[in-house]
Amino acid sequence: MTPRFLPFLLSVSLCLGRAVASPPNVVLIYVDDLGYGDVSCYGAKPGLTPNVDRLAREGLKFTDAHASSATCTPSRYAILTGEYPWRRKGTGILPGDASLIIEPGRVTLAQVFKDAGYATAAVGKWHLGLGDGNLDWNAAIKPGPLEVGFDECFIMPATTDRVPCVFVKDRAVVGLDPADPISVRYDRPFEGLPTGKANPELLRLQASHGHDMAIVNGVGRIGYMKGGAKALWRDEEMADRFTAAAVDFIKRSRGQPFFLYFATHNIHVPRLPHPRFLGKSGMGTRGDSIVELDWIVGEVLRTLDEAGLAENTLVVFTSDNGPVVDDGYRDDAVEKLGDHKPAGSFRGGKYSKYEGGTRVPMIVRQPGKVAPGETKALVTQIDFVASLAVLVGREGPIATAPDSRNQLAALLGADGVGRESLVEQGVGGLAIRRGRWKFIPASNGPRMNKPTNTELGNDPAPRLYDVEADPGETRDVAAERPDVVARLREELRGASTAPLP
């Protein structure tokens, strides 16, 4: 090679080096209560979810991906911190007036991106608490998402069925009239205001269990609130509002790397999709909420296409816990379920230690980077922090994410095995997966979550299942394989009692 070519070659290779090293934008679509079998590409009836199916066609579909837990707050804590939630007190399902449970300054998933120069935003469901005690909803709402790595947010504080039923943008309630301040509490009603319990005649959606406190938009909620009339959300518009915020962030962030945490309120109860989706699924409002969710996914994909960002954006689609049919309202979900199987072939669902509790749909797409297909790799959302840190070029371990491991190769499809083992959290305890084995220790907890009619996986005898041969966890093989039982019992004990860093 003659020396005069060197500068040219050097600049080409530097350019290529930069192009190869240039990390993609990341859009994480985090769905609420979507079960393994709830979308067509995972076994629901054809045509229900064309946009999610497109994602699966163009991306990598996981068949053994897990949320950390079978309910919302702990799974969200895990995906954002990289720490198993059961290591900390206070990480169960939070009321809407709870304080923030992620310590400000921690290296969260959002902070990883922020430190790498990304613009970061949280849109949709939060449910990780806000403030640090006695929060005044009429003043600056902090600490919150902006103190744990997000540049901006447009969120609902807790769940669709918990007060306060308002949107929070950055640190303020959207549309709040100072002359009509908001008060929120969970311990007793506000005098003079109707409740679902005292005034069921005011409800347009009856509760099947709980949900009998404040009445907002004719729907009984959990918790009590007063004031803020102009700021109250309208349930039927929530998908449009959140989608508009997500689309706006993507469009504004074009030209710089960005991370969008888009946590949909679909398909949690109360299921009140926009009227344009009513009747579209033929499965009642739970199915219609899935159709609305699919529209949301379509809007995100369309925005990326139109902005020319599809190639350089890693889209991750997954859910915070397994499915539930009746979660507290008399919508028509049970009656109209038909032969739809929300948890696919898995046992249990939301709240449960069986696979239906944490095994969720997960699709990863980046055209040209992630080869389309299907993978059996065992993966967990807890590993997003460490894995995506590697994606954006961060070096060194993250001390506050002790359970998060670099599984980037599995997430991008290069490694078809993934983790050797992971811990699953149901209501009332833990279970462990190692390869094909699933061990559930003995537990005297209730067998059923009665109101939702879900098997919890609590059993006075320890159980062992071969989930490869028997995905439905129907045949206990503990007596046949005492060696595996002993090994997994020990491993779970070790993992759950390991000292905190």
The site for ligand NG6 (CB under 6 A) is made up of: 32-33, 71-72, 93, 127, 159, 161, 209-211, 222, 268-269, 321, 327-328, 451
Strand 258-263 relative to strand 25-31, pairing: parallel
- When binding is defined by CB under 5 A, the residue of 48, 72, 110, 382 that contacts Ca ion is 72
Q: List binders of Ca ion among 191-220 (CB under 5 A).
A: none
For 488, list phi and psi in degrees, rounded to 5: -75, -35
- By annotation, the residues acting in catalysis are 72, 127
Least Å distance between CB 357 and Ca ion? 11
* 171: exposed, middle or buried (Cβ count in 10 Å: 0-12, 13-18, 19+): middle
Sole residue written with tokens 């109250």? 232
Judged by beta carbon distances under 5 to 8 A according to partner kind, the member of ligand NG6, Ca ion, none in contact with residue 220 is none
Q: Provide the CB-side half-sphere exposure for 473 (13 A, CA).
A: 26
Q: Does 161 contact Ca ion by CB under 5 A?
A: no
Q: Does 243 contact Ca ion by CB under 5 A?
A: no
Residue nearest to Ca ion (CB): 72
Judged by beta carbon distances under 5 to 8 A according to partner kind, the member of Ca ion, ligand NG6, none in contact with residue 328 is ligand NG6
Q: Does 473 contact Ca ion by CB under 5 A?
A: no
Interface segment toward Ca ion; rule CB under 5 A; list 20-28, 64-72, 241-249, 448-456: 64-72
Judged by beta carbon distances under 5 to 8 A according to partner kind, the member of ligand NG6, Ca ion, none in contact with residue 428 is none
Whole-angstrom CA distances from 433 to 37, 302, 354, 440 are: 20, 37, 11, 9
Least Å distance between CB 321 and ligand NG6? 6
Q: How many CB atoms neighbour CB 75 within 10 A?
A: 28
Nearer to ligand NG6, 60 or 219 (CB): 219
Three-class HEC string of 331-393:
CCCCCCCCCCCCCCCCCCCCCCCCHHHHEEEEEEECCCCCCCEEECCEEEHHHHHHHHHHHCC
Tokens of 415: 């490694």
Nearer to Ca ion, 228 or 344 (CB): 344
Nearer to ligand NG6, 121 or 156 (CB): 156
Tell me the β-bridge partners of 455.
Answer: 448
Judged by beta carbon distances under 5 to 8 A according to partner kind, the member of ligand NG6, Ca ion, none in contact with residue 209 is ligand NG6
Q: Does 33 contact Ca ion by CB under 5 A?
A: yes
Least Å distance between CB 122 and ligand NG6? 16
Euclidean distance between CA atoms 152 and 169, whole angstroms: 8
The candidate with the shortest Cα–Cα distance to 62, out of 501, 407, 482, is 407
For 231, list phi and psi in degrees, rounded to 5: -90, -10
* 169: exposed, middle or buried (Cβ count in 10 Å: 0-12, 13-18, 19+): middle
Nearer to ligand NG6, 346 or 465 (CB): 346
Least Å distance between CB 324 and ligand NG6? 8
Tokens of 442: 């003995």
- When binding is defined by CB under 5 A, the residue of 321, 352, 400, 454 that contacts Ca ion is 321
Judged by beta carbon distances under 5 to 8 A according to partner kind, the member of ligand NG6, Ca ion, none in contact with residue 69 is none
Interface segment toward Ca ion; rule CB under 5 A; list 8-16, 24-32, 185-193, 200-208: 24-32
Q: Using CB under 5 A, list all residues that contact Ca ion.
A: 32-33, 72, 320-321
